[in-house]
Amino acid sequence: MAAEQFQALHAYLNSQVIGQPEFTEGLLIAILADGHLLVEGPPGLAKTRAVNALATGIEGSFHRVQFTPDLLPADLTGTDIYRAETGSFEFQQGPLFHNIILADEINRAPAKVQSALLEAMAERQITVGQTTYKLPPLFMVLATQNPLEQEGTYPLPEAQLDRFLMQLNLDYPNAAVERDILRLTRGEELEGQASMPSPVTQADIFAARREVLEIYMDDSVEEYLVQLIIATRTPDFYSADLARWLSYGASPRATIALDRCARARAWLNQRDFVTPDDIHYVFAHVLRHRIILSYQAEADGIDADTVLSKIIELVPAP
């Protein structure tokens, strides 16, 4: 039953966000793998629209926060409010107590705000004063950042980047998709457009997550997954080019994320086992924000996706 609901939700997302199938699938993989998602792309590519569509398709509360340089930690976590009638302080919850948080232009907030968000993402709790508050069991941060304009931005620290399950990079659509977008915004019906399904309940989401963890992964496929991660840490074993391009590899958290995302992708495709293709599909999304390239790679015009494609090419698949 949960699989059918997610299939219907996927079809609805694709009808609302035209021409971004990897993005919509990535949203569902993040939900199923219980992780946070970082989305990078130019303005106007329906990042906010997609998150709004996802929020309407699942049972839970949604809140959008526009990150700005003057944002304070209390604007996210909440704060203690003095009640004169009782002479006591009462905690007023902030946006982080919702189920889905859209952190728009996350890299525009200063370090103190990022620190508060990091605690929420990592520990599923926030601390105000001397008191710690637990966040809802269903809690997901969907963060966006614009790669074009860097003025007034604060680069996200590696520790926070590592907390994101995946980073999805969006690009402009082609001409045919652009025409469909025009028709959609004019309110015209598109061929095969899906109607909004019944919201997926939180109980169904947790049940689906348990099913994802039970997806079968053969020992040879699991060994292949681990070797892909190890290749980011020992690039000189595979290629002199890789050794020149990579400064730091991925952490064990990347191994866990890759495992969960590959299982979630197999589940979404209605299979009860993981294939190397599932790993390949999510590999760049899971790793591109976790590896650190050398100055030599930047000088050579090499980006993270090129390095990760090279690793896929060099590490033998089962």
Residues 178 and 279 in one domain: no
Residue 180: exposure state from Cβ atoms within 10 A (0-12, 13-18, ≥19): middle
What's the confidence (pLDDT) of residue 78?
A: 87
Which residues are bridge partners to 102 per DSSP? Answer: 64, 142
Distance CA 101, CA 95 (A): 7
Distance CA 217, CA 101 (A): 32
As for how many domains the chain has, the answer is 2
Contact 63, 102 (CB under 8 A): yes
Residues 43 and 175 in one domain: yes
Give helix then strand counts, H and E, for the chain: 14, 11
**C-beta atoms surrounding 44 within 10 Å:** 8
> What is the span of the domain harbouring residue 239?
215-314
Give which of 247, 245, 254, 243 is closest to 289, Cα–Cα: 254
Contact 168, 23 (CB under 8 A): yes
pTM of the complete model: 0.90
One-letter amino acid at 153 equals: T
Structure token pair of residue 117? 């968000």
Residues 219 and 154 in one domain: no
Residues 25 and 147 in one domain: yes
Distance CA 34, CA 257 (A): 10
Contact 284, 305 (CB under 8 A): yes
Distance CA 231, CA 158 (A): 19
Residues 6 and 133 in one domain: yes
Within a domain: residue 188? no
Residues 165 and 226 in one domain: no
Residues 169 and 253 in one domain: no
Residues 267 and 167 in one domain: no
Residues 223 and 280 in one domain: yes
| Per-residue pLDDT reduced to its tens digit, 88-119 | 888 888 899 999 999 988 888 888 888 888 88
What's the confidence (pLDDT) of residue 150?
A: 62
Within a domain: residue 36? yes
What's the confidence (pLDDT) of residue 195?
A: 72
Rg of the chain's alpha carbons, rounded to an integer?
21
Residue that the structure tokens 């520790």 belong to: 159
Our measurement of the distance from residue 260's CA atom to the centroid of its chain's CA atoms, rounded to an integer in Å, reads 13
Residues 162 and 227 in one domain: no
Structure token pair of residue 306? 């090129």
Within a domain: residue 193? no
Residues 230 and 272 in one domain: yes
Mean pLDDT by 10 residues, the chain (318 residues): 82 84 92 93 80 86 89 88 80 89 88 86 86 90 79 74 90 81 76 74 92 95 96 90 90 95 95 95 95 89 92 92
| Per-residue pLDDT reduced to its tens digit, 228-283 | 999 999 998 988 889 899 999 999 999 999 999 999 999 999 999 999 999 999 99
Residue 290: exposure state from Cβ atoms within 10 A (0-12, 13-18, ≥19): buried
Residues 168 and 243 in one domain: no
CATH number of the domain enclosing 143: 3.40.50.300
Query: Sign of torsion, CA 110 64 77 165?
Result: negative
Output DSSP code: residue 58.
B
Task: Please report which helix (H) or strand (E) contains residue 82, including its range.
Answer: strand 78-83
